[in-house]
Amino acid sequence: MIDNSYEGVMSRRPSIMKAAVGIDYSQFESGKISFDYERMMRETGYTLEEMQKIQAKMGVGNTPLLELRNITELARKFAPAGKGARIFLKDEACNPSGSFKARRAATACYHAKKLGFKGVIAATSGNYGAAVASQAAMQGLDCIIVQECYDSKGVGQPEIIEKARACEALGAEVLQLTVGPELFYTFLRLLEETGYFNASLYTPFGIAGVETLGYELAMQFREREGRDPDAVVVTNAGGGNLTGTARGLLKAGAESKIIAASVDLSGLHMASDNEFNKKSFTTGHTGFGIPFTTWPDRSDVPRSAARPLRYLDRYVTINQGSVFYMTELLAQLEGLERGPAGNTALACAFAVAQEMDENQIIVVQETEYTGAGKHINPQLTFAKENGIEILIGNPKDEIPGKNIILPENPSLVKITDLDVDKTRKSFIKNAVAKVEIDRVDERDLEFLIAETNSTKEFVEKALKNLNIEF
């Protein structure tokens, strides 16, 4: 008799995952900490050309590149003389399911069909669910989306509920759960019981799907402007958006600076039932961005292909109110009504552009659809119903879970730089703690250097401070 207790299902996680993804991750392990990331991407993913063909067949990609002239002009009003880079936007809302995640889902569903699976399952409360549902419908596959949706009182966030509506409209079965460990437990049980494919966000072919975005972006700029953008701002949560985009840019030979952007939700615990509905963003925030950057392998596969610390040059945060404010600016100044995820990067780009020269280019690499619960009005109404005070003033005074402060004027849209070296040290600390070792070998050392995008000296000093020999 199969043991379906929580402990029993979790003990079978490796075998369930191997059967549901079709990848033997153990073949890429090398040292105590390290694994061969590039080999994994090369041998289990798809080439850029293959990805482009798969996506083109499904109507994914080749999205417009738009210059935000009015927002650029506004930024220049608050910038020092000669500053205020041109701000561009890659309009990924034009994909079939309304976000860049259609690129990931196109590959996942294509791969599932290729391997002979009858259906796909994804554990997500975000845009990826709609993307998987859309691509599964195109491939003739069954689809189940498992959502972490409600607190223990049965209250669900309007944005998550809207995404469930979108998934169901596209033919998926949606299971909505309360916040907590039941999400992953239920996900594993469904994979085992149905024999469906795990359409994870974090597989090599999922991340390879986003590489087309970065590559496409570089090609569009070269055709339009004759050069690459100086900086690309990417909303960061689980890290796949940034990883895939950066890898695509590198494959195009671009040297654009990669800036990660997250909403500051410091102080709120993402797994807390009491705090679940105290946040007004379901993704693109520090509650996912920081944990997944400092340890990517907390995902639903043994080794995540989303490894943002390898690629980011800078990591900035913005308050919730500024993102809502920028959402309105985008609609009223540029005539584009888009959802909050991409506008996180836009709000940060607005501030970063004021540091850059007028002849430079900064690009926000994605937008998402909006409407119903994803719109700022239901989000702010929901916040008020949960005791969050909505104010107009200086965003620096915002306290996540207590209030949302909309900027009194555009000059108050400001970013905060995170200490990337501190993030690198946290990654190294997590890496050695996960395997409980007191010594690393040469392979592990090289892996940590690559993972943190740092130097041998930096990693050795960090290890020394942790009393780890090398």
Q: Residue 271: pLDDT above 80?
A: no
pLDDT score, position 331: 97
The single residue listed with the structure tokens 């888009």 is: 338
Domain final residue, candidates 183, 203, 223: 203
Do 406 and 433 belong together in one domain?
no
Q: What is the pLDDT of residues 390-404, one digit of tens each?
A: 999 999 999 999 999
Q: Residue 32: pLDDT above 90?
A: no
Q: Is residue 31 part of a domain?
A: no
Do 153 and 243 belong together in one domain?
no
Q: Is residue 362 part of a domain?
A: yes
pLDDT score, position 299: 87
Do 143 and 178 belong together in one domain?
yes
pLDDT score, position 259: 98
Query: 263 falls in which pLDDT band (50, 70, 90)?
Result: very high
Q: Per-residue pLDDT averaged across 166-172, rounded?
A: 95
What phi and psi, each to the nearest 5 degrees, are found at residue 308? Answer: -65, -30
Q: Per-residue pLDDT averaged across 272-280, rounded?
A: 85
Give the C-alpha separation, 342 to 379, whole Å: 16
pLDDT score, position 404: 97
Do 217 and 355 belong together in one domain?
yes
CATH of the domain at 150: 3.40.50.1100
Q: Per-residue pLDDT averaged across 440-454, rounded?
A: 96
pLDDT score, position 397: 97
Do 177 and 62 belong together in one domain?
no
Q: What is the pLDDT of residues 297-308, one digit of tens each?
A: 998 889 999 999
pLDDT score, position 41: 95
Do 91 and 109 belong together in one domain?
no
Q: Residue 63: pLDDT above 90?
A: yes
Q: Is residue 217 part of a domain?
A: yes
Q: Residue 184: pLDDT above 90?
A: no
Run of H or E residues at 17: helix 13-21
**How many domains are contained in the chain?**
3
Q: Is residue 47 part of a domain?
A: no
Q: What is the pLDDT of residues 316-357, one digit of tens each?
A: 999 999 999 999 999 999 999 999 888 999 999 999 999 999
Q: Per-residue pLDDT averaged across 283-306, rounded?
A: 93
Do 270 and 228 belong together in one domain?
yes
Residue in 167, 186, 182, 32 with CA at minimum distance from that of residue 101: 167
Give the C-alpha separation, 468 to 258, whole Å: 31
Query: 312 falls in which pLDDT band (50, 70, 90)?
Result: very high
Do 181 and 301 belong together in one domain?
no
Print the domain residue range for 453.
422-465
Q: Residue 93: pLDDT above 90?
A: yes
pLDDT score, position 286: 94
Query: 170 falls in which pLDDT band (50, 70, 90)?
Result: very high
Query: 283 falls in which pLDDT band (50, 70, 90)?
Result: confident
Query: 61 falls in which pLDDT band (50, 70, 90)?
Result: very high
Q: Residue 188: pLDDT above 90?
A: yes
Specify whether the CB–CB gap between 90 and 187 falls below 8 A: no
Domain final residue, candidates 159, 178, 203: 203
Tell me how many degrees the CA angle 199-203-208 measures, rounded to the nearest 5: 110
* Residue bearing the bigger pLDDT, 434 or 119: 119
Q: Is residue 447 part of a domain?
A: yes
Specify whether the CB–CB gap between 234 and 258 falls below 8 A: yes
Do 195 and 217 belong together in one domain?
no
Do 156 and 15 belong together in one domain?
yes
Q: Is residue 44 part of a domain?
A: no
Q: How far is CA 428 from CA 140, 143, 451, in A?
A: 43, 38, 9
pTM of the model: 0.96
Q: Is residue 45 part of a domain?
A: no
Query: 284 falls in which pLDDT band (50, 70, 90)?
Result: very high
Give the C-alpha separation, 162 to 58, whole Å: 24
Out of 77-86, 161-170, 203-212, 264-273, which region has the weakest mean confidence (pLDDT)? 264-273
Give the C-alpha separation, 224 to 107, whole Å: 28
Q: Per-residue pLDDT averaged across 44-68, rounded?
A: 95
Do 268 and 303 belong together in one domain?
yes
Q: Residue 27: pLDDT above 80?
A: yes
Domain final residue, candidates 417, 436, 455: 417
Q: Is residue 40 part of a domain?
A: no
pLDDT score, position 261: 98
Specify whether the CB–CB gap between 345 and 234 falls below 8 A: yes
Do 198 and 212 belong together in one domain?
no
pLDDT score, position 274: 82
Q: Per-residue pLDDT averaged across 138-151, rounded?
A: 94
Non-local (6+) Cβ contacts of 233 within 8 A are: 259, 261, 345, 346, 348, 349, 352, 362, 363, 364, 365
Q: Report the chain's mean pLDDT, rounded to a whole number.
A: 94
